[in-house]
Structure 1
Amino acid sequence: MKDSDSPPRVGQVVRIKRGRDTGQYAVVVGVLDERFLLLADGDKRKFDKAKKKNVNHIEPLPHISDEVIRSIEETGRVTNAKLRFALGVFSQQHLELLKEGE
């Protein structure tokens, strides 16, 4: 993991490096301890069935969704629509950065 100084936090977008969902993106919806996180994307992996994932099997990305953080702090949960929205915003910004880099 690149960012070993700062562990992934709730609301952060990550890329999955190992397992069935390799290469897909998800949002951290819970931190169980220093080794395990709960991930969801609001589509195939809903908030209620969040995936428990080892931190060594994900790549934390610099994008953090304030919407997701706020929702979890206020209600203890987040809607699947907000998770999809957060990933949509991330992918839009990601595509724009790739275009600028060409």
Structure 2
Amino acid sequence: MNDSGPSPELGRIVLIKKGRDQGQFGIIVELVDDRFVGIANGDTRKVDRVKRKNLNHLELVDYIADEVRNSFVETGRVTNGKLRYAITNFLEQHSDLLKEGE
């Protein structure tokens, strides 16, 4: 079905390639269908106002924020703070990714 890259799943970090938020990172918090997902970052895009994005406009990063996925498994939801923490944590671990894009 897809080109053996990372699959869209809850807690996966994505890089937004198109749209107003281009160049920013988000986390998949909702699987809409096989073409769309809901993303949020806990800051400019809160969990209660998830942005629906076409998967073609996102670059799926080969990284899943365990704390976000575990939160969905345990409670069925995630907090904005947890999303912010997960993105900050990811960026600290993968600061090399930021330098590539410049």
Q: In the alignment, is residue 64 of structure 1 matched against residue 25 of structure 2?
A: no
Structure 1 portions without partners, runs of 5+:
none
**Percent of aligned positions that are identical:** 49
Secondary structure of 2:20's counterpart equals: coil
TM-score, with length taken from structure 1: 0.87
- Count matched residues: 97
CA RMSD of aligned residues (A): 1.7
CA drift at 1:4: 3.0
CA gap 1:34/1:21 in 2 versus in 1, 3 angstroms: same
For the residues of structure 1 that align with 2:39 and 2:71, how far apart are their CA atoms? 15
Runs of 4+ in 1 over 4 A off after TM superposition: 96-99
Structure 2 portions without partners, runs of 5+:
none
For the residues of structure 2 that align with 1:34 and 1:75, how far apart are their CA atoms? 24
For the residues of structure 1 that align with 2:84 and 2:97, how far apart are their CA atoms? 20
CA drift at 1:74: 1.6
